[in-house]
Amino acid sequence: MSTLPSVDLGLMAEHLSTHEGMINKLKVYHINTTNPDLKSIIALQINVMMSHVRVMLSLINPDNNEYVEVPDLNMYDVSNQRADGTGVNKYNDKWIALEAHAGAKLMSNENYTSALLMKDRNVRNAHVEMALQQLEIQRRYSDFINRMGWSFVPHADAQEQVKTYQHFQHLLNN
């Protein structure tokens, strides 16, 4: 029988509740989006998060004495195909993509921050891997959003960059 530090158990209990809400929300998004690329990313995220639930339940199971691995992201990749994004309801697709991107970012951050607090090596390593997988899903949403022309990133002009560079260049001389 294997027991976990209380902090690890508490964080995973919170994560499992969050996963329940996120997975159900993503299922609603999957039904309501029309773009096949977006559907594919959402399906991937659902599958990955279900895998993360299985991993956490294995880690929590006191009868499990085995090291628990997070399955490789490619194992759950539902499609590598790209469509040109000609969905019927682009308005829903846009807000779904933007919100799902934010959700993946939040999950990645939450997993990594929690890993820093976790004591059990297996639990910590699993959550670092989960964070990296959510980061990859976030990148896929970003690529999709960029392809659709839905992102805007303001850029500083060269003069501001030079001023900033000159202001901090002294740090290299210390």
Would you state the pLDDT for residue 74?
87
Question: Using the 8-state DSSP alphabet, how is residue 9 labeled?
Answer: H
Average pLDDT, the chain: 92
pLDDT digits (tens, 9 = 90+) for 69-79: 999 988 876 65
0.75 exceeded by the pTM? yes
pLDDT digits (tens, 9 = 90+) for 132-143: 999 999 999 999
Between residues 144 and 81, the one the model is more confident about: 144
**Residue-wise over 139-167: b if at least 16 C-beta within 10 A, else e?**
ebbeebbeebebeeeeeeeeeeeeeeeee
Contact 14, 127 (CB under 8 A): no
Q: Closest Cα partner for 39 from 91, 93, 75?
A: 93
Would you state the pLDDT for residue 84?
42
pLDDT digits (tens, 9 = 90+) for 7-58: 999 999 999 999 999 999 999 999 999 999 999 999 999 999 999 999 999 9
Domains belonging to the chain, first-starting first, are 6-173 (1.20.1260)
Residue 82 has pLDDT above 60, yes or no: no
Residue 85 has pLDDT above 60, yes or no: no
Q: Closest Cα partner for 138 from 86, 87, 102?
A: 102
Residue 90 has pLDDT above 80, yes or no: no
Distances (CA, A) of 92 to 70, 86, 100, 148: 32, 13, 12, 13
CA 58 to chain centre: 20
Residue 87 has pLDDT above 60, yes or no: no
